[in-house]
Chains A and B, each alone.
Chain A
């Protein structure tokens, strides 16, 4: 039987090659994702290792609430400078390096900020350089308050040299500095794409508002010292809210934070890879069904000659396994190449990474092969079971018929699976439980695939009617062909159905997000202009300066931070209470608004009020990183708005409870009748290249733009699934052209022109594609609405159905179907008439 299996595969190379392509693409995606994230993990591990290699201990403020973010300083207070002196006095300590860091971004000569605000690192440079991985490769260390060190990457790219002046933006007003030296991080030109700005310690303390304090102390132990007792000795000196950890511990914390972020990325990408494989599974199922049907005689002959049912079953599955193995191996190779491509794609979206050799682990190989072979074999089980039911007598009968289908059995089974899937999906959305959503979606699609043949014939008839009318006989024949085998039509279209459903769901989700964002903005913000900058905040001098611009009526600072209320970590906003209603709209349902803020009270939204059983006048226990535990009174309750957040306090209260608070936005309201206010603000902001002003309409537009960009990325990731679905259609058409060789020969003999043959095949393809797309769009719209509805608490307050886009998707499917038909159509038209008639 082995020879039969292998020979069987080789005989149908071309036919199976297309099927294999679906698996190759899916495995490529999986491999690429795994290789990419492994490589990224290794890269960052190395970086962190480099940063911490000389550090024996790290002294820092204790984390008030545990939020292990990559920036590392969340929830930690700075420590007083006196501690450094105390630690230096501990015997066994060789060296203590105090560290201060924060946001500091270079400005290029043309006035634009360099790099992104999220990765502009400013730090204090220790001239002794014993503990830092930052290396001075040119020039001299910064000594005065005017000196700065620049990373080599920035210096090279933007042509800065030692002795030149450069503007730096930070939480303070922008300042000019003189470049005294060029630095690298270890051997890299920058820190994983982040720019580096090094200052003398006092300068850094000034810039980041930590005068008389440090963020951390890096401690080097004397060689031969007993680290454990040394750590204990240091700990004895520290006040209760300061701790000392080993360098290894600090490094591990950082590594695991990065690794968490990366695993989120890798999971997201793998989900798309699995979607492609799921779609590919439909294609494989279809192909194997068709080839088993075509080989009925051959398989029946094997049964006549004595092969058992089990042997037939195993042979079909073995074929699938071999095919899956070959495809997976190819996918592995391509996946490594794809990892490089994905890196570039991420770079295009602003995530620049250092170049490093790719990490190819054994786990990747095992997973890729398991997934590739697994999907292929599982998809082939159904057809294998059908192969087993072929009666030996089929080898001797001239004309074999397709086994008649029990419509009722299919309808029942399909309905059960589909309904079960929908229930799981809804339950998963309500919970929320992502795994349940995934399982529910898979079951629903499988159920839909099982039910599709029931509607295939009537729908093909309807969809094909215009084609028959326009194209005449070829159109009519194409329509008849798609109606002749509803199961075949439905199975071929199923893959596209899944793809189009996902695309449509995304469309609905995107439209809902857009609509919600707009309505959220409109209902929360009454200001005419919004000034925004980096997430770490921008200079406090912006607001007062803007207030002085003629025509400006009200200026409101907006701060964002984190705190704990009743044991839960949450975000909190701080806004200037004066004239608040002119820039921010708080729809109060109870209590007071701005007056409460001015009195140092807390405003909460309706959702929080009911969830935590709080009302106006309640006193709640809160904890702030800077000031510790305290209590606060609820002054008012407002209608929930995702843009505003759940907790609001007045700006003065915020400033007194956070370390170095910087506004993340300034809202401006203009005097009635004032003109050119926007351009005046814009002119002023030329001094702050990292801050920009937008009118409300412009802000909305840029929100949409960002949203569209993100959606675009997801569409691209889904595009692979669509490609796999189309490959399935091409494959089926090729197989069916082969199957109908005699019939095509007959048509040509009787006088059908080549062009008419092509038109016939094309109409078939368009009908199949539209069939899948129509069902897919309907399912997808429902799916999208369900998703959007479940995300109501996350900010999707409106559900919008983009009818124009959905119709566009349908038209696109028809066009894609046409494209898929081009090769099979040409093949069919080029058939040698004589050979075709002679064929069986």
Chain B
């Protein structure tokens, strides 16, 4: 959990990363049909920073995120969230970690259909049996513009509204790290921009750490740093990206 007053500087993050992986490999299949989704990836995701992970399909970016979030187990290597080595945790501990220390935003179908927006937002806290910070809840809901949607079910909201509710859920417990997997994939351009603006501001103003998997250079431009993957390996990195520089880097890697 991050305290507000700790994070006035945006220039430098504190020493320990929000998450990091060491020599991660992930292989599927055997013999001739072996697929190396991750082939020795060592990467750090800085605290208080917005990091984007990019690469063509099959590059292993989703696999990397799944391993880092404790949703998948790497074939070899070590993964850390904060100071906790994930590989040592059992299922209950992993689940609790996902509940308390990680936030998720997926590309679609983020919400539980039977719950209202408000209930979806407080879901991780309810599962833990704790109260949410009401002031923080009100702030998030205001900032995301979903205050009038709180009693509605997902089927009664647009795609953009659903994604914003998902964002609120991801942020409600101020986790160590938020993983976003193509969060704007199903949104139109104005909804996408709104969502990315909000993610950006949560990093800048509240010191949230975010890792976003994307293949859209305009989305990557909101990040502080872009990590490029190809064929299961880290092949490049870009600081202070713009849409143009990202595109250029992608084309360079493509050739």
Contact pick for B112, options A747, A754, A833, CB 8 Å: A747
C-alpha gap A749/B72 in the complex (Å): 11
- Which chain B positions have C-beta within 8 A of A747? 112, 123
Chain A interface: which of B51-59, B91-99, B193-201, B231-239?
Answer: B91-99
Shortest C-beta distance, B167 to chain A (Å), equals 13
Chain A interface: which of B39-47, B126-134, B136-144, B214-222?
Answer: B126-134
In the complex the two chains form, is A752's CB within 8 Å of B95's CB?
yes
Produce 1/0 per residue, B144-171, CB < 8 A to A: 0000000000010000000000000100
Shortest C-beta distance, A634 to chain B (Å), equals 74
In the complex the two chains form, is A754's CB within 8 Å of B106's CB?
no
In the complex the two chains form, is B109's CB within 8 Å of A746's CB?
yes
Produce 1/0 per residue, A102-124, CB < 8 A to B: 00000000000000000000000
Produce 1/0 per residue, B63-100, CB < 8 A to A: 00010010110000000000000000001100110111
Q: Does A305 contact B (CB under 8 A)?
A: no
Q: Does B50 contact A (CB under 8 A)?
A: no
In the complex the two chains form, is A477's CB within 8 Å of B114's CB?
yes
C-alpha gap A743/B110 in the complex (Å): 8
C-alpha gap A481/B126 in the complex (Å): 17
Shortest C-beta distance, A208 to chain B (Å), equals 78
Q: Does A143 contact B (CB under 8 A)?
A: no
Q: Which residue of the partner chain B has the closest CB to A473?
A: B126
C-alpha gap A476/B129 in the complex (Å): 13
- Which chain B positions have C-beta within 8 A of A473? 123, 126-127, 129
Q: Does B104 contact A (CB under 8 A)?
A: yes
- Which chain B positions have C-beta within 8 A of A481? 114
In the complex the two chains form, is A751's CB within 8 Å of B129's CB?
no
C-alpha gap A742/B72 in the complex (Å): 16
Q: Does B115 contact A (CB under 8 A)?
A: yes
Q: Does A753 contact B (CB under 8 A)?
A: yes
User: Which of B104, B113, B127 has its CB near the most chain A CB atoms (within 10 A)?
Assistant: B127
In the complex the two chains form, is B127's CB within 8 Å of A752's CB?
yes
Q: Does A716 contact B (CB under 8 A)?
A: no
Q: Does B60 contact A (CB under 8 A)?
A: no
Q: Which residue of the partner chain B has the closest CB to A833?
A: B71
C-alpha gap A833/B71 in the complex (Å): 7
In the complex the two chains form, is B72's CB within 8 Å of A834's CB?
yes
In the complex the two chains form, is B112's CB within 8 Å of A477's CB?
yes
Q: Does A756 contact B (CB under 8 A)?
A: yes
- On whether A751 and B114 interact (CB within 8 A), knowing A746-B109, A834-B66, A834-B72, the answer reads no
C-alpha gap A754/B66 in the complex (Å): 19
- Which chain A positions have C-beta within 8 A of B128? 751
- Which chain B positions have C-beta within 8 A of A484? 113-114
Q: How many chain B residues touch A (Cβ–Cβ < 8 Å)?
A: 28
In the complex the two chains form, is A756's CB within 8 Å of B112's CB?
no
Q: Which residue of the partner chain B has the closest CB to A839?
A: B109
Q: Does B183 contact A (CB under 8 A)?
A: no
Shortest C-beta distance, A756 to chain B (Å), equals 7
In the complex the two chains form, is A751's CB within 8 Å of B127's CB?
yes
User: Which of A484, A743, A746, A749 has its CB near the most chain B CB atoms (within 10 A)?
Assistant: A749
In the complex the two chains form, is B98's CB within 8 Å of A750's CB?
yes
Q: Does B207 contact A (CB under 8 A)?
A: no
In the complex the two chains form, is B98's CB within 8 Å of A472's CB?
no
Shortest C-beta distance, A485 to chain B (Å), equals 10
Q: Does B48 contact A (CB under 8 A)?
A: no
- Which chain A positions have C-beta within 8 A of B241? none
Q: Does A480 contact B (CB under 8 A)?
A: yes
In the complex the two chains form, is A750's CB within 8 Å of B114's CB?
no
Shortest C-beta distance, B188 to chain A (Å), equals 15
**Chain A, 249-272, CB within 8 A of any chain B CB:** none
In the complex the two chains form, is B66's CB within 8 Å of A751's CB?
no
C-alpha gap A477/B100 in the complex (Å): 20
C-alpha gap A833/B129 in the complex (Å): 22
Q: Does B124 contact A (CB under 8 A)?
A: yes
Q: Does A748 contact B (CB under 8 A)?
A: yes
Q: Which residue of the partner chain B has the closest CB to A481?
A: B114
Q: Which residue of the partner chain A has the closest CB to B122?
A: A473
Shortest C-beta distance, A483 to chain B (Å), equals 8
Shortest C-beta distance, A830 to chain B (Å), equals 10
Q: Does A782 contact B (CB under 8 A)?
A: no
- Which chain A positions have C-beta within 8 A of B69? 749
C-alpha gap A756/B92 in the complex (Å): 11
**Chain A, 389-428, CB within 8 A of any chain B CB:** 401
In the complex the two chains form, is B113's CB within 8 Å of A751's CB?
no
**Chain B, 2-50, CB within 8 A of any chain A CB:** none
C-alpha gap A480/B116 in the complex (Å): 11
In the complex the two chains form, is A754's CB within 8 Å of B169's CB?
no
- Which chain B positions have C-beta within 8 A of A746? 106, 109-112
Produce 1/0 per residue, A814-840, CB < 8 A to B: 000000000000000000011001000
Q: Which residue of the partner chain A has the closest CB to B123?
A: A750
Q: Which residue of the partner chain A has the closest CB to B108?
A: A398
In the complex the two chains form, is B114's CB within 8 Å of A480's CB?
yes
In the complex the two chains form, is A751's CB within 8 Å of B100's CB?
yes
Contact pick for B71, options A401, A480, A834, CB 8 Å: A834
C-alpha gap A750/B111 in the complex (Å): 10
Shortest C-beta distance, A335 to chain B (Å), equals 43
- Which chain B positions have C-beta within 8 A of A748? 95
**Chain A, 723-758, CB within 8 A of any chain B CB:** 742-743, 746-756
Shortest C-beta distance, A400 to chain B (Å), equals 12
- Which chain A positions have C-beta within 8 A of B100? 751
In the complex the two chains form, is A743's CB within 8 Å of B113's CB?
yes
User: Which of A472, A476, A751, A752 has its CB near the most chain B CB atoms (within 10 A)?
Assistant: A751
User: Which of B92, B98, B128, B129 has its CB near the most chain A CB atoms (within 10 A)?
Assistant: B98
- Which chain A positions have C-beta within 8 A of B129? 472-473
C-alpha gap A753/B91 in the complex (Å): 8
Shortest C-beta distance, A198 to chain B (Å), equals 77
In the complex the two chains form, is B109's CB within 8 Å of A749's CB?
no
- Which chain A positions have C-beta within 8 A of B72? 834
In the complex the two chains form, is B96's CB within 8 Å of A751's CB?
yes
Q: Which residue of the partner chain A has the closest CB to B102?
A: A751
In the complex the two chains form, is A751's CB within 8 Å of B71's CB?
no
Shortest C-beta distance, B74 to chain A (Å), equals 12
- Which chain A positions have C-beta within 8 A of B106? 746, 837
- On whether A742 and B109 interact (CB within 8 A), knowing A749-B71, A754-B92, the answer reads yes
Q: Which residue of the partner chain A has the closest CB to B103?
A: A750
- Which chain A positions have C-beta within 8 A of B114? 477, 480-481, 483-484
Shortest C-beta distance, B244 to chain A (Å), equals 33
Q: Which residue of the partner chain A has the closest CB to B129?
A: A472
C-alpha gap A749/B105 in the complex (Å): 10
- On whether A750 and B124 interact (CB within 8 A), knowing A834-B72, A837-B106, the answer reads yes
Shortest C-beta distance, A768 to chain B (Å), equals 15
**Chain A, 465-506, CB within 8 A of any chain B CB:** 472-473, 476-477, 480-481, 483-484
Q: Which residue of the partner chain B has the closest CB to A483?
A: B114
Q: Which residue of the partner chain A has the closest CB to B112?
A: A743
C-alpha gap A47/B11 in the complex (Å): 104
Shortest C-beta distance, B154 to chain A (Å), equals 10
In the complex the two chains form, is B126's CB within 8 Å of A754's CB?
no
- Which chain A positions have C-beta within 8 A of B111? 746
Q: Which residue of the partner chain B has the closest CB to A836?
A: B71
In the complex the two chains form, is A754's CB within 8 Å of B95's CB?
yes
Given contact pairs A480-B115, A481-B114, A749-B69, enumerate 14 new A-B contacts (beta carbons under 8 Å).
Answer: A401-B155, A473-B126, A484-B114, A743-B109, A746-B110, A748-B95, A750-B98, A750-B99, A750-B169, A751-B124, A753-B92, A755-B92, A756-B127, A837-B71
Q: Interface on A for B, CB 8 Å cutoff?
A: 401, 472-473, 476-477, 480-481, 483-484, 742-743, 746-756, 833-834, 837
26 A-B pairs within 8 Å (CB atoms) are namely A401-B155, A472-B126, A472-B129, A473-B127, A476-B126, A477-B112, A477-B114, A480-B115, A481-B114, A484-B114, A742-B109, A743-B109, A746-B109, A746-B110, A746-B111, A749-B69, A749-B98, A750-B98, A751-B95, A751-B100, A751-B127, A752-B95, A752-B99, A753-B95, A756-B127, A834-B66
Give me the 10 closest cross-chain CB pairs, A-B, nearest first: A751-B99, A480-B114, A473-B126, A751-B98, A753-B95, A484-B114, A834-B71, A751-B124, A834-B72, A751-B127
